Amino acid sequence: MPETEPGRDFPRLHVRPRRGWLNDPNGLVRVDGTYHVFFQHNPDEPVHDRVGWGHASSTDLLRWTEHPVALAPRPGGPDAAGCWSGCVTDDDGTPTAVYTAVPDHPDHARAAGALLARSDRSLLGWTADDRFVVGTPSLVGVEEVRDPFVFRVDGHRYVVQGAGARQGRPQLLLWAADDLEHWVDLGPLLTTDDPVAAAVAEANLWECPNLVRVPAVDPTAEDAWVLLLSLWRWVDERHELAGVRYLVGDLQADGPGLRFVASSGGVLDDGPAFYAPQVLPDGDRVLVWGWAWEVGRSEEQVRAAGWAGVLTFPRELAVADGVLTSRPAAELVGLRDRPLRGLVDGPLDVTAFELRSVCSARLRLVDDGRELFSLDVGGSSSVPTTVLVDGSLVEVFRGGATRTERAYPTPTSTWLVDADPAMVQGWSLALP
């Protein structure tokens, strides 16, 4: 495929290679002051096929360096059909990737297993094992297992995996993993016997589970355990990715293992283009990235563009009265380049910008009188709205809630803002 300059719809400030396919963020970690973000990636085509792990790093969450593919499918290996989602953990000083490996198999998702790969502290070169740590267990009601995520409690290390069946109910599997090469089965961490989980997170399989302690908005309140679940459903003989839910709750002892007991829950992002997030505990905060897929682009348009999928900006999570909130990572103000003058008087001549509204407002993308995209921004003096636009990615933050949208500028389209000019501010965005 010949190299072409990406168009105005390409998000230039976000993590995303110039070409190919991208989906789930993986292996988020900070090592020796450098943030590392891995992601599902097919560098050859903008389609999900034999994906590996792409890799980018940053010291400031603003400027990202793209690195060679970190993990790639190995012909004849346990990951011959793909290196799917997982995490990176510190194993006695050795950065270790824990991920779903998919072998060549007629039904490869059901033949997948958990695999380890190790690196030095540069995280630039990886050596993968040749055998699964664990495969898909023989459990009633479980056909597929994937997306291992490592967490620690009271000095012990555990792994949680998403599980379920096309015609069945979801659950999370729990393993003791103080020895990362030998996992001990501890049974389920969560099932739909939990009434909050059953009501909030209806699915056939829970994907990309993340379990983390999240700080409270009120500094006098205690941190809370938060579980993120991506909803995989089997509908009309096809799989459907049905958004992301969060559960706030507690971890309780359950025999030799643990049980997550939910007290509340909700939608992590209510937009049409957000899935498979991963968290990164970072000092006294928790960051999260998500995958924003393409919405409204045909297969022909995607192939012509040569790329598909982008990671969101990093967001900071907090809990307020049982509700999980999100806001842009504090560092992102460093992208503000210059104030936008005459914000509501005419078209915006930039492809990346930030809006802050304290009134009723509408953001529109227009091409030759035809409206390509329209979004009610809203906002008030007590609950302002922040909108971050980069190429075709639109991220909205208001009162702790978020919404991820896609809108595709053309060579002749323009952005317009309908609002009271005294009640809205704007900045162009660029790398410092």
Domain boundary, last residue among 328, 345, 375: 328
| 311 and 339 belong to one structural domain | no
Q: What pLDDT score was predicted for residue 286?
A: 98
Is 5 part of a structural domain of the chain?
no
User: What is the domain-level CATH number for residue 363?
Assistant: 2.60.120.560
- On whether residue 55 sits in a domain, the answer given is yes
Do 298 and 355 fall within a single domain? no
Contact 201, 152 (CB under 8 A): no
User: Looking at the predicted structure, is the pLDDT value of residue 142 above 50?
Assistant: yes
Mean pLDDT (whole number) for 279-297: 97
Nearest C-alpha neighbor of 314 from the set 365, 352, 278, 269: 278
Cα 256–chain centre separation: 31
Cα 75 to Cα 415: distance, rounded to the nearest angstrom: 47
Number of domains in the chain: 2
Averaged over 208-215, what is the pLDDT? Answer: 98
- The domain of 374 spans 332-429
Q: Does residue 114 share a domain with residue 88?
A: yes
CA distance 170 to 175: 17
Asked whether residue 277 is domain-assigned, the answer is yes
Which tens digits make up the pLDDT trace of 199-211?
A: 999 999 999 999 9
- Shared domain for 321 and 377, answered yes or no, is no
In this prediction, residue 4 carries a pLDDT of: 67
Look at the alpha carbons of 350, 351, 352, 354 in this order and tell me if their dihedral is positive or negative: positive
Instruction: Catalytic residue, from 24, 79, 194, 390: name it.
Output: 24
Residues 302 and 341 in one domain: no
pLDDT at position 105 over 90: no
Reported as a single tens digit per residue, the pLDDT across 295-312 is: 999 999 999 999 999 999
Q: Tokens 């993340």 map to which residue? A: 210
**CATH number (domain holding residue 258):** 2.115.10.20
| 324/336 same-domain check | no
Query: At 168, is the secondary structure helix, strand, or coil?
Result: coil
pLDDT band at residue 106, thresholds of 50, 70 and 90? Answer: confident
Cβ proximity of 4 and 306 under 8 Å:
yes
**Dihedral over alpha carbons 265, 269, 271, 272 (to 10 degrees):** -80
* Torsion angles phi and psi, residue 264, rounded to 5: -160, 170
Residue 185 is which amino acid?
D
Residue 408 lies in a domain: yes
Q: Would you place residue 136 in the very low, low, confident or very high pLDDT band (cuts 50, 70, 90)?
A: confident
For residue 253, being part of any structural domain is answered with yes
pLDDT at residue number 137: 87
348 plus 394 within the same structural domain: yes
Mean pLDDT within 196-222 = 96
How much is the pLDDT for 2? 46
Boundary residue ending a domain (261, 296, 328): 328
Neighbouring C-alpha atoms within 13 Å toward the C-beta of 412:
5
In this prediction, residues 404-412 reach a mean pLDDT of: 97
Please check whether residues 186 and 285 belong to one and the same domain. yes
Least confident of 78-82, 136-140, 250-254: 136-140
Q: What is the DSSP string of 271-335?
A: SSS-EEEEEEEETTEEEEEEEE---S--HHHHHHHTEE-EEPPPEEEEEETTEEEEEE-GGGGGG
Active site residue 24: yes
pLDDT at 3: 57
Among the three residues 309, 328, 347, which one is the final residue of a domain in this structure?
Answer: 328
Across 143-172, average pLDDT: 97
13 located within any domain: no
Indicate whether 3 belongs to any domain. Answer: no
On whether both 238 and 361 belong to a single domain, the answer is no
Q: Mind listing the pLDDT tens digit for each residue in 360-383?
A: 999 999 999 899 999 999 889 899
Give the Cβ contact number of residue 82 at 10 Å.
Answer: 25
Averaged pLDDT, 387-415: 97
Above 60 in pLDDT, residue 1? no
Q: What is the pLDDT of residues 235-256, one digit of tens each?
A: 998 999 999 999 999 999 999 9
Residues 62 and 114 in one domain: yes
Share of the chain above pLDDT 70, in %: 99
Give the chain's mean pLDDT.
96
Indicate if 198 and 252 belong to the same structural domain. yes
Q: Does residue 381 form part of some domain?
A: yes
pLDDT tens per residue across span 344-362: 878 998 999 999 999 999 9
Residue with tokens 């609002």: 419
- Map 369-409 to HEC letters: CEEEEEEECCCCCCCCEEEEEECCEEEEEECCEEEEEECCC
Q: Give the whole-angstrom CA distance, residue 278 versus residue 244.
A: 11
Q: What stretch of H or E contains 200?
A: helix 195-200
- C-alpha distances in Å from residue 9, one per residue of 34, 301, 310, 334: 29, 12, 11, 22
Strand partners, 289: 278
Q: Stretch 133-159: mean pLDDT, rounded? A: 94
Quick one: 215 and 352 in the same domain?
A: no
